[in-house]
A = this chain, B = another copy of it.
Amino acid sequence: MEALPELANRFLMQFQSPTLAFLIGGIVIAALGSRLAISESIYKFIVFMLLLRVGLEGGMSIREANLAEMLLPALFAVVIGIGIVLLARVSLAMLPAVRTEDGIATGGLFGAVSGSTLAAAIVVMESEGLEYEQWAPALYPFMDIPALVMAIVLANLYLKREDGATDKVRIWPIVKESLQGSALSALLLGIALGLLTRPEPVFESFYDPLFRGLLSILMLIMGMEAYSRIQELRRVAHWFAVYAAVAPIMHGLIAFGFGYIAHVLTGFSPGGVVILAVIAGSSSDISGPPTLRAGIPRANPSAYVGASTSVGTPIAIAIGIPLYIALAEAVF
């Protein structure tokens, strides 16, 4: 059991990473009664910057990818991304005392993809000589974006029904409203600009370098907000911890199965199958939080960010990656 101390170590390291550190920092200063505040207009602008950047990157990587060859794996990525959210909708979100919108948002975050988990997997695979298609990492937006959109639509559908609750709620107006909201507008605008135009100069000189820093500020704001809502979580924190521990491996194995089908049908490489499993097993600590915060404002960020960053990501990296590689070596 050498893996256990390593897992514990990764777990502790997460608390020192800027993402979680700023979140906890925000919780602590709010608890200490700080009067620090960041204005709504700045907050919204930060979210806009983050989402535009996430969209631009997704759009550019789709543009660069070989669409014909990656068709089936990309389709599977979309299906998995949506499936993860639906799974959370009927499991975590249904648990007693778990607020439904928090469960859906958490599912959205676990359906979305972590770029750093993906990068870690690529480093391990390259050191083991496991080959994969050049375009395989570009599968990530195909899973990431549908999962986030799905979560926002599902949550708004649920909340609308809760609030109004007159008769049948029609889906299309809510989908349309979600897409026109500032979160998904900025994300989709970024995708369209990345796909159809050449935003590389501003992406590289502006949106990308500012990304991590702006994210740290967002985390701080989310932490301060989380503190004021922390009692909501008291009774249900264990459910989120269980979900965050189980879901990454389960999602990764499901994706491995889909990848195997693509291998049989179109010759998708073993390395590609591992990558599909890794991105399904990962949960977004970067693109997801701002999208969900703006798209489902009533969900509690300490639920979904806490579950993903403090439990989900260490497990996805320390257990998931070696597991899928071992599985690939056994199966193929």
Least Cβ distance of A35 to chain B in Å? 5
Report the bound CA distance from A198 to B207 in whole Å: 23
In the complex, per-residue mask of A57-99: 1 if CB is within 8 Å of any chain B CB, else 0: 0000000000000000000000000000000000000000000
Contact A21 B216 (CB under 8 A): no
Quick check: is A39 within 8 A (CB to CB) of the other chain?
A: yes
In the complex, per-residue mask of A22-58: 1 if CB is within 8 Å of any chain B CB, else 0: 1001001100111111110110110010000000000
Report the bound CA distance from A215 to B206 in whole Å: 10
Most buried by B among A32, A186, A216: A216
Least Cβ distance of A218 to chain B in Å? 12
Specify which of B185, B199, B214 is in contact with A21 (CB 8 Å cutoff).
Answer: B199
Contact B197 A207 (CB under 8 A): no
Given contacts A42-B41, A45-B42, contact A36 B185 (CB under 8 A): yes
Contact B44 A48 (CB under 8 A): no
Contact B181 A35 (CB under 8 A): yes
Contact B201 A25 (CB under 8 A): no
Contact B34 A185 (CB under 8 A): yes
The interface on chain A, measured as residues whose beta carbon lies within 8 A of the other chain's beta carbons, has a size of: 47
Contact B213 A207 (CB under 8 A): yes
Specify which of B182, B199, B212, B220 is in contact with A205 (CB 8 Å cutoff).
Answer: B212
Contact A202 B212 (CB under 8 A): yes
Taken together, the copies of this chain in the complex come to 3
Most buried by B among A33, A181, A189: A189
Given contacts A38-B48, A185-B36, A189-B25, contact A206 B213 (CB under 8 A): yes
Quick check: is A266 within 8 A (CB to CB) of the other chain?
A: no
In the complex, per-residue mask of A185-223: 1 if CB is within 8 Å of any chain B CB, else 0: 110010011001111011001110110111110001000
Quick check: is A17 within 8 A (CB to CB) of the other chain?
A: yes
Quick check: is A228 within 8 A (CB to CB) of the other chain?
A: no
Report the bound CA distance from A213 to B201 in whole Å: 9
Quick check: is A18 within 8 A (CB to CB) of the other chain?
A: yes
Quick check: is A15 within 8 A (CB to CB) of the other chain?
A: yes
Quick check: is A9 within 8 A (CB to CB) of the other chain?
A: no
Mind listing 25 A-B residue pairs with CB under 8 Å? A16-B196, A16-B197, A17-B197, A21-B197, A25-B189, A33-B180, A34-B180, A34-B185, A35-B181, A35-B182, A36-B185, A36-B186, A37-B44, A39-B41, A42-B45, A202-B212, A202-B213, A202-B215, A202-B216, A205-B209, A205-B213, A206-B209, A206-B214, A207-B213, A210-B213
Binding site for B on A (CB under 8 A): 15-18, 21-22, 25, 28-29, 32-39, 41-42, 44-45, 48, 180-182, 185-186, 189, 192-193, 196-199, 201-202, 205-207, 209-210, 212-216, 220
